[in-house]
Amino acid sequence: MFYKHIRRHSSAAKEVSMDNQDKKLLEFGEELLIDDKSGHHILFLSIIGEIEGHELASDRTKTTKYEHLLPLLAKAQDSRNIDGILLLINTVGGDCSCGLAAAEMIASIDKPVISLIIGDSHSIGVPLSVAPDYTMIAPTATMLIHPVRLSGTVIGAPPTFEYFKLIQDRILNFTAGHSRAKKEDLEEMMMKKGMMAKDLGTILVGEQAVKAGLADQVGGIAEALSWLHDAISEKKGE
């Protein structure tokens, strides 16, 4: 009877644990991956939809809330139970300031981190994608670089132009500092005409992003996890 009671208790605990994991996956796009062979614990985080920052997006918009993302990254850095991080990226961009804040935090993590672009990494998604130690892009995934835009009322005065340029330089400097791309090449891609009907900028698909220095390799989930396990093993001296 005692043994049966223990088994029921253990089963119930597993169900509660699974429920918590399912809730985290649904609410934050977070999952803890545990490899049976190596014993590595990898935190999987998805950055999808619009990067929601200081202003709320509409209820019908898929978003990644930076106030959720930052604590998850801090927890991953501080936890002894997490060996590395896999970021799955499919974003149309969003709040520049908050996206750049998240990118800075990703770049400061001292555990192996890899990003996998599967779909799109547009606008502020580019700094988020290059912030990790290694950037992988799916063959049909895209990266979009374009000038900074602001919504709402904009005053047409020289200080406004200087403010735009300041934000743009912050993004360019960060991207160049965390990738193989040069700042002047990024600026040229940002101001390119003719590729998009309603905007300036450049769209890079798969291998083009690697050649431009914004991604390290074309690949998918298997290649991304393989790189991450190797990086974790190297860091641990395994």
Catalytic residues: 123, 146
Q: Which helix (H) or strand (E) holds 94?
A: strand 84-94
Compute the half-sphere exposure of residue 134: CA atoms within 13 Å on the CB side of its CA: 21
Looking at residue 56, what DSSP letter applies?
P
Angstrom CA distances, 22 to 30, 41, 90, 95, stand at 9, 17, 21, 28
Q: Are 95 and 55 in contact (CB under 8 A)?
A: yes
Distance from first CA to last CA of the chain, Å, rounded?
Answer: 44
Which of helix, strand or coil describes residue 182? coil
Rounded-to-integer distance, Cα 39 and Cα 123, Å: 36
Beta bridge partners, 120, equal 142
User: Residue 96: which of 204, 175, 159, 160 has the closest Cα?
Assistant: 175
Angstrom CA distances, 150 to 72, 160, 163, 220, stand at 28, 11, 11, 34
